[in-house]
A and B are shown apart, each in its own frame.
Chain A
Amino acid sequence: MDELVWGYPIVFHLFLVSLGAGVLAVSAYLVLWRSDDPAAFALARYGAFLAPLPLLLDGLVLILDLGSFHAGYWFKFLNLYKIVTASPMSIGTWLITAFIIISLLYAHTFLRMPAGPDDPRVGRRRGLAWAGLAVALTVAAYPGFLLSGMQARPFWNSPLVPLVYFFSALVLGIACKLLFLAWRTRSTPTTKDRGDGPGLTVWLARIGTYLSAGELLLVILFVVFAHRGAGSVTQAVTVIMGGGVLATVFWFWAVAVGLVLPMLIMMVAAFRPPATLEGVLLKAVEIAAPLLLLFGAFMLRYVFVVAGQITGPVGL
């Protein structure tokens, strides 16, 4: 019987951090490199408003989960801000704080209407988009560094873990953008191919396919290296291999349903012959695929958090 030291709040932490980072990264990308497309601008604007929210919620979740908070010392978490150490958690605290500030400032540049690609705040917005992109990409990899630096936890102790989280965060960013497309009123067409390239939906589906393929490859590499290795790491990874307690959650829910299936949906939508994307396929790529990706990302984090704690070094 194993006691979990880190429970659901940490699963949510890893999920929310990735979500916010991915949304900000994609939003900044759209502002910096697709600002000529009004639909992309509108999407970037939604992204800018969403990005700080998961991180703010995450901060709350983390504080509520602290032992000190449980014991009644509600503001003891401020000790985190009295020092900078080489601990990934200390660096992460400062990074996430910077992320929240930058993303709020960035969102502010979209606030006053009419916001558009040519409004007077464009300079400030682009500057903050650069800063946001930098901080978002760093925060995207941060959960991986939080987990992977501990020799005592062989399941997490792999240099591939930060990369998996990095890709997963960007996939989450794309997923949220696709959901926005489904939700917002279609004042500008996003499903038709434009003269100079694919429409926004197809573009997002294409990037989403590449990123989820990258994530899938990294996940497979992670498992293969761990499984083909020796000692503690190989022993630890048995919990997700055949017969392991987390095998079904990992392979079926996190990988097959939460990553491969939405990747295939996005692939079909992205690489169909040029025409209008509509009907069931449009619904699938704008609603089903992103929801599956969100679910899969959560399950992946669940497996990681639990597997790392129920396994340990071999021998004593």
Chain B
Amino acid sequence: MADGVRGKVYGRRRFLKQLGQGTAAAAALAYPHPRSPHAATAKNPQVRYAMVIDTRRCVGCHACSVACKAEFDVPLGFYRSWVEYVEKGTFPDVRRSFLPRLCNQCSNPPCVDVCPTGATWQREEDGIVEIDPDICIGCKYCILACPYDARFANPVTGTAEKCDFCLHRVRNGLEPACVETCIGRARIFGDLNDPNSEVGRLLATTAVTVLRQEMGTKPNVYYIAADHTGEGDARAGQYVRVTTHRRQKDRR
């Protein structure tokens, strides 16, 4: 409750600031509000930003990871967005695929529920889960509560950190850094509530999956043709290896 109220105030303050800079108009042009019949709430926002990742187009080049690192000056060993290599099979029946990862901006985010300071909350205006570094005390509870291991403790700032869909860019009408940089056009970003957006169209016409659906978190990052295999799922005799560049090597 308190999170929602605080989120609203925070959002409004920033919105007014942007208005002054004349950038809100640009943001509105880039991602127009849908004609939403319902009142916006954190769980049911007017704009629902989402990402569709078409793994068939991903070549595992890590340009997205690097762009993200550069955008946020992410410390060594940690990633807001990263790419996993999934290798499986025995020659000649082998496959290597890539799974770009990031915070899922869950509609039902457990990380928000556990935060004791209200430093992390879900924005009512677009559903993005945000962290206020001025409030976060670095207790790391949210890091453990996230079923996607999407958060890390930034050793420099002492706060929890994760992907926020490049909020500072998006609200200025730009795409997230990883999306803009993706050489394969594997990452597609937009407003899910807008049926004419590319993500809206893709979701309407393509089979997509989300990660760990059974957790009930309602992720807003969707995958096309993702290989969900993990090392733990390997059937007898099957070779499966998942690797990343993160300091945390294993999926958990």
The chain A residues found within 8 Å of chain B, CB to CB, are: 1-3, 5-6, 66-73, 76-77, 79-80, 82-90, 92-93, 149-153, 235, 308-316
Choose the segment among B17-25, B38-46, B147-155, B179-187 that binds chain A (4+ C-beta atoms closer than 8 Å).
Answer: B147-155
If the complex has contacts A68-B136, A80-B117, are A314 and B158 also in contact, measured as CB distance less than 8 A? no
Cβ 8 A contact of A70, one of B117, B155, B212: B155
The chain B residues found within 8 Å of chain A, CB to CB, are: 2-3, 99, 110, 113-119, 135-141, 143-147, 149, 153-160, 211-212, 214-216, 228-230, 232-233, 247-252
Chain A binding surface SS class: loop
Structural contact, B138 and A70, CB atoms closer than 8 A: yes
Return chain A residues, CB-CB under 8 Å to B141.
Answer: 87, 89
Return chain B residues, CB-CB under 8 Å to A73.
Answer: 158
Structural contact, A316 and B212, CB atoms closer than 8 A: yes
Bound-complex Cα distance A84 to B249 (A):
35
Bound-complex Cα distance A70 to B138 (A):
9
Bound-complex Cα distance A76 to B212 (A):
34
Interface centre among B117, B212, B215 (most CB of A within 10 A): B117
Structural contact, A67 and B158, CB atoms closer than 8 A: yes
What are some 9 contacts across the A-B interface (CB < 8 A)? A67-B159, A79-B135, A80-B137, A85-B115, A85-B116, A309-B144, A313-B214, A316-B211, A316-B229
Structural contact, B138 and A67, CB atoms closer than 8 A: yes
Return chain B residues, CB-CB under 8 Å to A85.
Answer: 2-3, 115-118
The chain B residue with its CB closest to the CB of A76 is B137
Return chain B residues, CB-CB under 8 Å to A3.
Answer: 247-248
The 6 closest A-B pairs by CB, nearest first: A67-B138, A71-B158, A312-B252, A67-B158, A90-B116, A152-B147
Total of A-B residue pairs, C-beta within 8 Å: 134
If the complex has contacts A86-B113, A87-B114, A93-B116, are A152 and B146 also in contact, measured as CB distance less than 8 A? yes
Bound-complex Cα distance A150 to B156 (A):
27
Bound-complex Cα distance A80 to B113 (A):
15
Bound-complex Cα distance A7 to B228 (A):
30
If the complex has contacts A2-B248, A152-B144, are A316 and B228 also in contact, measured as CB distance less than 8 A? yes
Structural contact, A79 and B252, CB atoms closer than 8 A: no
Return chain B residues, CB-CB under 8 Å to A151.
Answer: 110, 147, 215-216
The chain A residue with its CB closest to the CB of B229 is A316
Bound-complex Cα distance A89 to B149 (A):
19
Structural contact, A87 and B110, CB atoms closer than 8 A: no
The chain B residue with its CB closest to the CB of A153 is B144
Q: How far is the CB of B19 from chain A (nearest CB, A)?
A: 28
Bound-complex Cα distance A153 to B157 (A):
26
Structural contact, A68 and B144, CB atoms closer than 8 A: no
Return chain A residues, CB-CB under 8 Å to B154.
Answer: 67
Bound-complex Cα distance A309 to B149 (A):
11
Return chain B residues, CB-CB under 8 Å to A315.
Answer: 212, 228, 230, 232-233
If the complex has contacts A89-B141, A316-B251, are A68 and B158 also in contact, measured as CB distance less than 8 A? yes
Q: How far is the CB of B139 from chain A (nearest CB, A)?
A: 6
Q: How far is the CB of B8 from chain A (nearest CB, A)?
A: 15
Structural contact, A5 and B212, CB atoms closer than 8 A: no
Structural contact, B136 and A314, CB atoms closer than 8 A: no
Return chain A residues, CB-CB under 8 Å to B157.
Answer: 67, 71
Return chain A residues, CB-CB under 8 Å to B216.
Answer: 151
Return chain A residues, CB-CB under 8 Å to B139.
Answer: 66-67, 89
Bound-complex Cα distance A316 to B210 (A):
9
Bound-complex Cα distance A90 to B248 (A):
28
Bound-complex Cα distance A6 to B117 (A):
18
